[in-house]
A and B are shown apart, each in its own frame.
Chain A
Amino acid sequence: MTTSDEAPLLPRVSSGDRAAMQACVDRYGSLVWTIAIRILRNESDADDATQDTFLALWQSAARFDPSRSNERTFVAMIARRRVVDKKRSADRQRREASSSELELSKVPNAAYEELERGPDAQRVVDALATLPADRRNVLHLSVVNGLTHGEIAQETGLALGTVKSHVRRGLAAVRELLLGNRGSQETKEGRLSR
């Protein structure tokens, strides 16, 4: 569902509005949780990362700039930072531990549902659909599953340079789409399909 009409909460959060902070949890809790559980694949770590994300979000709410992105994208960006930090820390611990018990646990059974999305989401989905399948797949593994470029190279058999190139070009394409959505002239350059 697209919710382009939802009023942003972060400006209210930045002025200390506690009701807006609570509303943030309800509006973005599932988005943040999804990012965390997909990348971390462990409920306890995802729980911690979700809390870290909201703490960071409330503290940095004033940095949200609606001319750059919609609020949901900004929240996802903050969540990715915190979750990736958590993953690096967990990976380091795992490398240091010798026990095989620390292998990645499976994603726990959870209620998958189609949750609310921001106004750019469908356009991003459509744009991603135009990318070559390899590039789309690699971008998904990198951003959504949180794999490192080296892990993706191992997983897919692609050369590391090719993986980096796919992720770079995929992100550049999405960036241009976002700029285009906000009135930039750059979309006229038609770099989306490069």
Chain B
Amino acid sequence: MSADDIENLENLLLLKLERSLTSEEETQLKQLLERNPTWDELSFELAAGAVLEAAPGQVAIPEHVRAKLLKLVPADQAITPAPRATVVRFSRRALAGWTAAAAASVAAAVGWWPRLTGQLVPKKPPDPPAPTIAERRALFLLEKDVRVLKLAVAADPLVTQVDGDLAWSSEKQSGYMRFASGVPVNAPTKNQYQLWIFDRGRDDRYPVDGGVFDIAAAGEQIIEITPKVRVHEPTLFAVTLEPPGGVVVSSREHILVVAKPA
């Protein structure tokens, strides 16, 4: 890799620390990273983390903030882990050995071994199970522009307490709502919940329809948000209770839960 390539790579990673890259920049970064496997997208982020960790004069966390954090720990269920990151590095010698072994295995599988045993080549192993919504959300939270907002009650007596959060990515135009507690199970034949996204520059009387959903059971529920219309800058997320199937324009009779970007 040339010195110019390294400088370009470093500049793009630096830019990425400050803002989201354009699609052209992302493509360029991907190409540069492919050419140099000792670098990856986290190279500068981890370096910045190390500088922060090393900075002198740390401040003790206030007790009230610590207490809030402890309350965030899930009370009665484990979180679903995201797939574990695996970084495997081989030496050239090891790679040569693996290559030879792999070649021998392939020759055995497609060549003399089936003839000798009269058996078919083993079938391809089944695909791994599709990730759960909790796993998809966990991966989503790693996206750089994701904002996580706490859910809050509105002034409706149907929901007087809520615990959960809403994660949104403007870049991906999608997000997740996580209800830990507080929003009751609904009967889909009688009514359904509907999410509305108020967007800066859009008439507040006609917020973006964020979709209809059900709270199917007690305990943590995660709902994916995929609005059909582009949201430029969300100013408020609101959940209302509506007739089955949802409505085009809400009467806003029951605004139950909101999440407001800072």
Q: Which residue of A lies closest to B71 (CB)?
A: A51
- State the Cβ distance, B253 to closest chain A Cβ, in Å: 30
Whether B142 is near chain A, meaning CB under 8 Å from some CB there, is yes
Given A37-B59, A47-B65, A51-B68, A62–B83 Cβ distance below 8 Å?
A: yes
Given A51-B72, A124-B53, A62–B59 Cβ distance below 8 Å?
A: no
Given A30-B59, A62-B84, A64-B85, A164–B11 Cβ distance below 8 Å?
A: yes
- B117-143 CB mask vs A (1 if < 8 Å, else 0) is 000000000000000000001100110
- A105-128 CB mask vs B (1 if < 8 Å, else 0) is 000001111110110111011001
Whether B10 is near chain A, meaning CB under 8 Å from some CB there, is yes
Q: Is the interface of A mostly helix, strand, loop or mixed?
A: helix
Q: Is the CB of B73 within 8 A of A22?
A: yes
- Whole-angstrom distance between the alpha carbons of A127 and B11 in the complex? 21
Given A22-B70, A140-B55, A144-B51, A60–B82 Cβ distance below 8 Å?
A: yes
**Chain B count of residues within 8 A CB distance of the other chain:** 61
Task: Choose, from B27-35, B40-48, B203-211, the stretch at the interface.
Answer: B40-48
Within 8 A of B (CB), among A1-59: 13-18, 21-22, 25-26, 29-35, 37-38, 43, 45-48, 50-52, 54-56, 58-59
Q: With a 10 A CB-CB cut-off, give which of A15, A144, A175, A177 has the most chain B CB atoms.
A: A175
Q: Is the CB of B48 within 8 A of A143?
A: yes
Within 8 A of A (CB), among B213-244: none
Partner of A115, one of B60, B70, B87, B147: B60
Within 8 A of B (CB), among A168-187: 168, 170-172, 174-175, 177-179, 184, 186
Partner of B47, one of A58, A89, A112, A175: A175
**Chain A count of residues within 8 A CB distance of the other chain:** 90
Q: Which residue of A lies closest to B83 (CB)?
A: A62
Whether B189 is near chain A, meaning CB under 8 Å from some CB there, is no
- A71-83 CB mask vs B (1 if < 8 Å, else 0) is 0111111011110
- State the Cβ distance, B61 to closest chain A Cβ, in Å: 4
- State the Cβ distance, A54 to closest chain B Cβ, in Å: 5
> Which of chain A's residues have a CB closer than 8 A to the CB of B44?
171-172, 175
Q: Is the CB of A85 within 8 A of B58?
A: no
- State the Cβ distance, B222 to closest chain A Cβ, in Å: 11
> Which of chain B's residues have a CB closer than 8 A to the CB of A117?
53-54
Q: Is the CB of A79 within 8 A of B65?
A: no
Q: Is the CB of B84 within 8 A of A168?
A: no
- State the Cβ distance, B54 to closest chain A Cβ, in Å: 4
Name the 9 nearest CB pairs between A and B, nearest first. Answer: A16-B78, A77-B49, A76-B49, A124-B54, A33-B61, A29-B61, A174-B47, A14-B81, A62-B81
Given A80-B48, A144-B51, 11 additional A-B pairs, CB 8 A: A15-B78, A29-B65, A33-B61, A51-B69, A55-B141, A56-B142, A72-B53, A89-B262, A115-B60, A118-B53, A121-B53
23 contacts between A and B (CB under 8 A): A22-B70, A22-B73, A30-B60, A50-B69, A52-B148, A56-B141, A59-B141, A60-B82, A60-B138, A62-B82, A62-B84, A65-B86, A68-B42, A73-B49, A80-B49, A80-B52, A110-B59, A120-B50, A120-B54, A124-B53, A124-B54, A125-B54, A178-B46
